[in-house]
Structure 1
Amino acid sequence: MSNSSYRGEHSTVQSVILFVIFLALFLGGIFSFSFWSLESFAHAFGPAIAGIGLCALAFFVPMTIIARSDSAGE
């Protein structure tokens, strides 16, 4: 049994590019929380929604859309 015929889900370059993209989304969400001010409640939702949205997108897309398929039973 040779491992040379094994082909992974993504190539290494594609995995690194996807990692960098979604890490940037997550860090952008964390950075947007720095603009969140609780002093003015009406204007506090912009950075909060952006931060929650970017962080959720950084977790949701890789875990549901890009993730491996459930083929453990095959």
Structure 2
Amino acid sequence: MYSNGKNLAHSGQGRFVGNLIATIVFLAIFCGAIYSLSFWTLENAWIPGISCFVLFVLAFAIPQHIMGISDRDPAEAASKK
């Protein structure tokens, strides 16, 4: 597909550094979630468990909902089926 003489098929080029930085940040958050489980004991289970859950949700929800999937309008997507 062309627009104004430019090939739009390569519209994602040039975003490697931003994608790499985002991947590193969210991988670090995920590793922090796993590391928080190292503080888990039978006497102290709530704080590591809750922190692991919160970090895990952040590591997966932010990339899925803010950076990717949430830009789709459900009504518009349903009308195109």
TM-score under structure 2 normalisation?
A: 0.71
Q: Could you give the per-residue CA deviations for residues 14-42 of structure 1, whole angstroms, max 9, x where no partner exists? A: 0000000000000000000111112x1xx
Overall identity of the aligned pairs, in %: 36
- Give 1 or 2: higher strand fraction: 2
AA partner of residue 68 (structure 2): A
The answer on 1:33 being equivalent to 2:37 is yes
* Higher RCO by CA contacts (8 Å cutoff, separation 6 or greater): 1
- Which of the pair has more CA radius of gyration? 2
Aligned to 2:64: 63
Runs of 4+ in 1 over 2 A off after TM superposition: 1-6, 68-73
Aligned to 1:20: 24
Matched residue pairs, number? 70
TM-score under structure 1 normalisation?
A: 0.77
AA partner of residue 59 (structure 2): A
Q: Which moved more, 1:8-17 or 1:45-54?
A: 8-17
**CA offset at residue 9 of structure 1?**
8.1
Q: Runs of 5+ in structure 2 lacking a partner?
A: none
